[in-house]
Amino acid sequence: MSVVPSVVPAATAPVFRGRIGRDEHSGHYAVPHRYRLHLAPADPDCLGVAVTHGLLGLDDTLPLTVLPALADTPDGGYAALRPLYEASAHLYRGPAAAPVLSDGWTGRIVSTHVPDILRDLALRFRGDGPELLPEDRQDEIRAVADLCERSVNAAAQRAGELGLDDTAAHHDPLTVLFAALGSLERRLARGPYVLGDALTAADVTVWGTLVQLDTVHRWHLDAAAMDRVAAHPALWAYAARLAAHPAFGRHLDIDALLDRHRAHCRGREAAGAAMRIVDWAAARA
C-alpha cells in the first residue's frame, strides 16, 4: 500500500480493555452464551462490530443487544448500560457508552475497546465464519484500518470543518482524502476484496468508512469534492455489492445514521452533492 499522510493524532484510550483468552486459565475465555454485545449500529464503530458478528454467524453463540441511534442520558450514554459500568468500576462517573462486550457470569464489562473486541470475535469466536484476520495479512489489515481512520474519516471531517473560507487549508485534507481513495480504488480494480480474493476484516473497515463518507461526511463537502469522491467506480461498486450481503446490510439504517449525525454535528455544512453515490436501500434489497 502506498503511504498516505495523516492529519490527526490517534484516538484516546477507552475505559475497559479486558480480553478473551484461549482457555479457562485466561479468566475470560470463549464460552457460548456467556457474553453479550451491546451495540448502537448507527455509530460507525458499533456498525463494524455488528457486521463482524454477522459474518461470523454468532447470533446463537454471542447474543446481541441493539441500542437506539441516539443516547438517552444527558452525558451521551445509555441508561440500559449504566448498571454494567457501575458494576465494573467503583464510582464510575463517565457516560455509559456503546459498544460494550459484557460478561453474563459476572455482570461486568469485558471491553469497550473496538479493535480488541473485533480481534477477539475473529480469533476466539470464529466458528464456521470466514477467517477475517489471517495471520499473514494482519499487518496489511492494520494499515488499511489506519488509512481509513486517518486519511478518509479524519480528512473528510477536517475538510468539512474548514469549509471553503481558507482555500489552502481546505485543500490539504482533501488531498489526503483523494490519495487514500485512489489507493483503495487501485486495490479493488485488481480483485473483489481489499486484500485480494478473500473477504477479511479490512473489508469490514473499508465498507463502514465508505458508508460514513457517503451518508455523513458528504454533507460537509462541496459538490465539486463529492464529484471527485464519486469518480472511483470500483470502490463504489464494491460498497454496493457488500451492502447486499446480509451481514453488512442487516444493521445498516441510513435514517438512524443521519439522526445520530445531526445530534452530534458541530461542523459547518457545505453544499454537498444532491444525490448519494450509492442507493443504500436499493443495494440492500
Q: pLDDT tens-digit profile of 53-62?
A: 999 999 999 9
Main-chain phi, psi angles of 68, to 5 degrees: -60, 160
Give the model's confidence band at 127: pLDDT under 50 very low, under 70 low, under 90 confident, else very high. confident
Give the model's confidence band at 219: pLDDT under 50 very low, under 70 low, under 90 confident, else very high. confident
The answer to whether residues 6 and 177 touch, using CB atoms and an 8 Å cutoff, is no
* The pLDDT of residue 5: 35
What span, in angstroms and rounded, lies between the C-alpha atoms of 152 and 206?
10
Strands 35-39 and 108-111: unpaired
Strand partners, 36: 102
DSSP string, 219-269: GGS-HHHHHHHH--HHHHHHHHHHHTSHHHHTT--HHHHHHHHHHH--SPP
Q: Is 17 helix (H, G, I), strand (E, B) or coil?
A: strand
H or E, element range at 183:
helix 167-190
* The pLDDT of residue 171: 63
Residues in Cβ contact with 166 at an 8 Å cutoff, skipping those fewer than 6 apart: none
What span, in angstroms and rounded, lies between the C-alpha atoms of 19 and 1?
30
What span, in angstroms and rounded, lies between the C-alpha atoms of 191 and 195?
8
pLDDT above 70 for 267: no
pLDDT above 80 for 2: no
What span, in angstroms and rounded, lies between the C-alpha atoms of 215 and 204?
17
Residues in Cβ contact with 128 at an 8 Å cutoff, skipping those fewer than 6 apart: 57
pLDDT above 80 for 4: no
What span, in angstroms and rounded, lies between the C-alpha atoms of 223 and 93?
43
pLDDT above 90 for 16: yes
Give the model's confidence band at 7: pLDDT under 50 very low, under 70 low, under 90 confident, else very high. very low
pLDDT above 90 for 284: no
107 is written with which cell numbers? 455482570
* The pLDDT of residue 8: 35
What span, in angstroms and rounded, lies between the C-alpha atoms of 62 and 125?
8
* The pLDDT of residue 162: 58
- Over residues 226-249, the mean pLDDT reads 97
Give the model's confidence band at 39: pLDDT under 50 very low, under 70 low, under 90 confident, else very high. very high
What span, in angstroms and rounded, lies between the C-alpha atoms of 212 and 208?
6
Strands 35-39 and 100-103: antiparallel
The answer to whether residues 277 and 243 touch, using CB atoms and an 8 Å cutoff, is no
- Over residues 256-260, the mean pLDDT reads 92
pLDDT digits 0-9 by tens, 152-206 = 999 998 887 755 455 555 568 999 999 999 999 999 999 999 999 999 999 999 9
Rounded mean pLDDT of the chain? 88
